[in-house]
A and B are shown apart, each in its own frame.
Chain A
């Protein structure tokens, strides 16, 4: 795709500002899961550190360094034609590292990145105690990222898990400072109540907000969230767990079996899989260049 990077950045901004539809960001951690998301109808993808670490068979506790995450992001971006928003943890170090992270993700065609205000090395809030850096340090991270991008459409989003350890007012105060420093969008994790969502939007009204739909304790429709002013939602890691569960179940059967028999289902699965990864179009291309 010509000028894919520019197209993806603009497309992501358009989707976020659409206004009549909430943007749902399913999670992917490798090229295959990204293709599954795209074929399922996702309009953009959230590449999380958790999912990438999982692809390496590791917990989300800083095992995947800058290059491991970056490389996986590149594979994902290259395998789909929808915008990919990338989790870059804390930005992988100090100002110069964050600048490198930003220009690298921009160069490979990410729609944007989200940098969190956790301490470095990054530890997932689910797996370790949440620790947040002071506001000035996070503000410097944002300055570094904003200064490093070449294209203003490349989204610099801030991800905060501060609600884990701060009250809602402190969380809002932090986020207001992040927006003043240049953050284009906010991803506030672990907001438990609709009242809190409303309060955030009331106090920081013009900045698109991403929330994790699965952290809300009360049921609420996507339309109601949209009416409240939420622009984007993402989900927990259920797709990842579901694929592992299915794989484990299949493996249980394979390792338990005592007779060899061809299963009818396998052929259908293979055909479906071929369609998913685009075998036919690649095979056609191959024919085109053969003598």
Chain B
């Protein structure tokens, strides 16, 4: 089960320095920033991500959370993504509900609930031979609204999903979510600045993925290097 503050990294050195049992989110967005210099996870293809992930997995022995983005295409691609990343040693697989290819800063749109549920089912099917837990990520609240977010969460829970990531929600929506019976199934991804790290922590979700904060630190480190 994912718990607490989850480090977000694509650095083998950082991952090696984590405790062996600490899960690390290998973010597609960070990989895009690192390899392409662009803040857009959708530029990273499944094959590119898989190659990088495989190397990290072999060289670090860590519990890795793979970023399956939208599943990189349709339901069939989601199945293959799960199979390949499971085979590469991922323990968790994040699949978001954006349209393909997903984007990082401003999202282009969300897929219909039915299609997303089928995508998650396909990913679960692909993961079944591996010790791989599928963690759906809901990113479209600003497009489909709070009540559709609840619908999606309930549909995923009915499917047997135990942990769900909610992203791009503001503080008031998250406070409403905190009052629900299923809040203990939720993690918060901080992909934008809709809510600060401190505010997210005060809500005490099951886990937090501080993506934006990690990028801020990397940018700060880059600027320091440039100032030498």
Please list the residues of chain A having a beta carbon within 8 angstroms of any beta carbon in chain B: 1-2, 4, 71, 74, 78, 100, 103-104, 107-109, 282, 285-286, 288-291
Contacts A2-B129, A107-B89, A289-B76 hold; do A74 and B118 have CB atoms under 8 A apart? no
The B73-117 residues at the A interface (CB cut-off 8 A) are 74-76, 78-79, 84, 87, 89, 114-115
Q: Are A289 and B58 in contact (CB under 8 A)?
A: no
Contacts A291-B115, A291-B118 hold; do A107 and B57 have CB atoms under 8 A apart? yes
Q: Are B54 and A289 in contact (CB under 8 A)?
A: no
Q: Are B121 and A289 in contact (CB under 8 A)?
A: yes
Q: Chain A's interface: helix, strand, loop or mixed, by majority?
A: helix
**Chain A nearest Cβ from B77, distance in angstroms:** 10
Q: Are A289 and B114 in contact (CB under 8 A)?
A: no
Task: List, in ascending order, chain A residues with CB within 8 A of B87's CB.
Answer: 4, 78, 108-109
Task: List, in ascending order, chain B residues with CB within 8 A of A286's CB.
Answer: 74-76
Task: List, in ascending order, chain A residues with CB within 8 A of B59's CB.
Answer: 100
**Chain A nearest Cβ from B118, distance in angstroms:** 5
Contacts A71-B51, A107-B57, A108-B54 hold; do A289 and B129 have CB atoms under 8 A apart? no
| B122 proximal to A (CB < 8 A) | yes
CA distance A100 to B58 in the complex (A): 9
CA distance A4 to B58 in the complex (A): 16
Q: Are B58 and A103 in contact (CB under 8 A)?
A: yes
Closest residue of chain A to B119 (Cβ to Cβ) is A289
CA distance A101 to B19 in the complex (A): 25
Please list the residues of chain B having a beta carbon within 8 angstroms of any beta carbon in chain A: 51, 54, 57-59, 74-76, 78-79, 84, 87, 89, 114-115, 118-119, 121-122, 125, 129-130
Q: Chain B's interface: helix, strand, loop or mixed, by majority?
A: helix
Task: List, in ascending order, chain A residues with CB within 8 A of B51's CB.
Answer: 71
**Chain A nearest Cβ from B84, distance in angstroms:** 8
Closest residue of chain B to A1 (Cβ to Cβ) is B129
What are 23 A-B pairs with beta-carbon distances under 8 A?
A: A1-B129, A2-B129, A2-B130, A4-B87, A4-B129, A74-B54, A78-B84, A78-B87, A100-B59, A107-B57, A107-B58, A108-B54, A109-B87, A282-B76, A285-B79, A286-B75, A286-B76, A289-B76, A289-B78, A289-B121, A289-B125, A290-B118, A291-B115
Q: Are B114 and A291 in contact (CB under 8 A)?
A: yes
Closest residue of chain A to B122 (Cβ to Cβ) is A289
CA distance A229 to B139 in the complex (A): 63
Q: Are A104 and B79 in contact (CB under 8 A)?
A: no
Q: Are A289 and B89 in contact (CB under 8 A)?
A: no
Task: List, in ascending order, chain B residues with CB within 8 A of A71's CB.
Answer: 51
CA distance A103 to B118 in the complex (A): 36
Q: Are B57 and A289 in contact (CB under 8 A)?
A: no
